[in-house]
Structure 1
Amino acid sequence: MPGLAVLVVCVCAPFAVHSANQGGFVPSVERLGSLPPDLAFTERPGAGPSCGSGACAASFDVRGRPGETAEQVADRMRRDLAGQGWRLDAEGQGCRPVGWLTDCRSMCVWVGASGGGAWLSLEGARGYA
């Protein structure tokens, strides 16, 4: 009987974890942590969550305080994310793991400003294992 338990733990458990991490997930703003309360996120028109090739993406328009420019909103959001451990490159992009050990999925974030507005794009990707 102990041999069966070892078989289940060594063979079935890794298979179950691997299978659970095969698909992408629709990321949400809440997964980013505690963002400044004066930022408002609105799903971008016509850019609802979409999935394909092991990843799902969602895009949002971001509004800040009255009178704050789009670039100021984007810069503030980049600084806040960096303060929470996100490593963003010069273009405001960065990825990191979602979980630990059994959850090998990753989440990527892009923050920017263009066309008079700040925006945020998120991608939830399948596991790397």
Structure 2
Amino acid sequence: MSVLSLQSPSATGFFVWSLLGVLFAAVPLIAWSRIARTRGVGYATAAVLFAAGGLLVAIQHGGVPAVPRADAHLLFAVAAPLLIVLGVRLEKGQKGHASEAWGRRRSTAVGVLGTQFVLTLAASALYFLMGAGASVPPATAVPDLPPGLIALSEGSSCGSSSCARSVTVGSRDGLTPAEIVRRLDRPSGWTCRPNGWLLDRRPRCVGVTETNGKVQLNVTLSDLIP
């Protein structure tokens, strides 16, 4: 069996999901292209929809890791139709009432955008329900270390309602554990925030501990409902 055949399933899956992601981002732009009636508002609205779709595709492929993908899809599914409604109203002010043929195209666009929104809402609800449990925080959740401090080791563990990623922190300059803690400049105790923006509301907490001469930077991700 060749290397190509071993890699083809994952490559095919990536291609399919990428294609679906691009199609999802392009739906509002396609819908708008069918109902736009003026050059000025039409091109301006299309440009904003194109930029928003491009940003969504970048988020889908990890180009903007700070933005949760599920939240981005939900926000896009809400914002794009609102932008189209604004464009329609602006054009109505310039062109007046549209023809019957345009009304049919508008009904089709509304149906397509409505279907996209309903499917996105259902997927978001499923994501919320399936993502309510604890899991090990990703490596990107660990705060960056200040200059001069280094990660000596890293580990993860899970309990009954919480999982943690722990980084043992050392110093290139021979600092003592107490000095390392001060250099980390973290508030005393734990600081917590939601793991996501809208859908992933699990508490993600960061704290620093000093035990047996070792300084650990800990990140926990707990159940939504303890």
Normalised by the shorter chain, which TM-score bucket? 0.5 to 0.7
Q: Within 5 Å, give how 1:60-75 maps onto structure 2.
A: 60-75=167-182
What residue in structure 1 maps to residue 125 of structure 2? Answer: 15
Deviation at 1:28, TM superposition (A): 4.4
Secondary structure of residue in 1 paired with 2:127: helix
Question: Which moved further from structure 2: 34-43 or 95-104?
Answer: 34-43
2:145 alignment partner AA: L
TM-score, reference length from structure 2: 0.41
Q: How many residues align?
A: 113
Q: Does the CA contact (< 8 Å) of 2:151 and 2:168 recur in 1? A: yes
Q: 1:100 aligns with which of 181, 193, 197?
A: 197
What residue in structure 1 maps to residue 63 of structure 2? Answer: none
What residue in structure 2 maps to residue 84 of structure 1? Answer: none
Deviation at 1:53, TM superposition (A): 3.2
Secondary structure of residue in 2 paired with 1:118: strand
Greater relative contact order (CA < 8 Å, ≥ 6 in sequence): 1
Q: Does the CA contact (< 8 Å) of 2:170 and 2:180 recur in 1? A: yes
Q: Deviations over 1:87-119 (max 9, x none)?
A: x3x3x3221122101221221122022322212
CA distance in 2, matches of 1:67, 1:43: 17
CA distance in 2, matches of 1:124, 1:107: 5
CA distance in 2, matches of 1:103, 1:57: 17
Structure having the higher strand fraction is 1
Secondary structure of residue in 1 paired with 2:208: strand
What residue in structure 2 maps to residue 123 of structure 1? Answer: 220
Q: 2:144 aligns with which of 15, 20, 34?
A: 34
TM-score, reference length from structure 1: 0.66
Structure 2 stretches lacking a partner, 5+ long = 1-107
CA distance in 2, matches of 1:8, 1:117: 49
2:172 alignment partner AA: R
CA distance in 1, matches of 2:157, 2:211: 22
Deviation at 1:49, TM superposition (A): 1.7
CA distance in 2, matches of 1:50, 1:35: 21
Segments of 4+ moved more than 3 angstroms:
4-10
CA distance in 1, matches of 2:141, 2:220: 11
Structure 1 stretches lacking a partner, 5+ long = 82-87
CA distance in 2, matches of 1:33, 1:115: 23
What residue in structure 1 maps to residue 207 of structure 2? Answer: 110
Deviation at 1:69, TM superposition (A): 0.8
Q: Within 5 Å, give how 1:49-60 maps onto structure 2.
A: 49-60=156-167
Structure having the higher helix fraction is 2
Identity %, equivalent residues:
31
